[in-house]
Amino acid sequence: MVIVNPARPSGRDVKPTPTGKIIVDFLNRAMPAYIETGLNWVHVRDVAVGHILAAQKGRIGERYILGNSQGNWTMKETFEVLEEITGIRAPTFRVPYRVALGAAYANEALSFFTRREPKAPLAGVRMAKYKMFFDPAKAIRELDLPQTPPRQALADAVEWFRKQGYVKH
φ/ψ of 154, rounded to 5, equals -70, -40
Residue 118 contacts by C-beta under 8 Å, 6 or more apart in sequence? 104, 107, 108, 110, 111
Q: The domain that contains 145 carries what CATH number?
A: 3.40.50.720
Please answer whether residues 64 and 135 qualify as being in contact, where contact means their C-beta atoms are separated by less than 8 angstroms.
no
> How does residue 151 score in pLDDT terms, banded at 50, 70 and 90?
very high
User: Mean pLDDT across the chain, nearest whole number?
Assistant: 94
54 belongs to a structural domain: yes
Q: pTM of the predicted model, to two decimals? A: 0.90
Q: Is 38 helix (H, G, I), strand (E, B) or coil?
A: strand
169 belongs to a structural domain: no
φ/ψ of 8, rounded to 5, equals -115, 90
| pLDDT score, position 48 | 98
Residue 54 scores a pLDDT above 80: yes
Percent of the chain with pLDDT over 90: 82
45 belongs to a structural domain: yes
168 belongs to a structural domain: no
CA-CA distance, 40 to 135, in Å (whole number)?
9
Range of the domain at 149: 3-161
167 belongs to a structural domain: no
Handedness of CA 17, 19, 89, 121 (dihedral sign): positive
Total of domains in the chain: 1
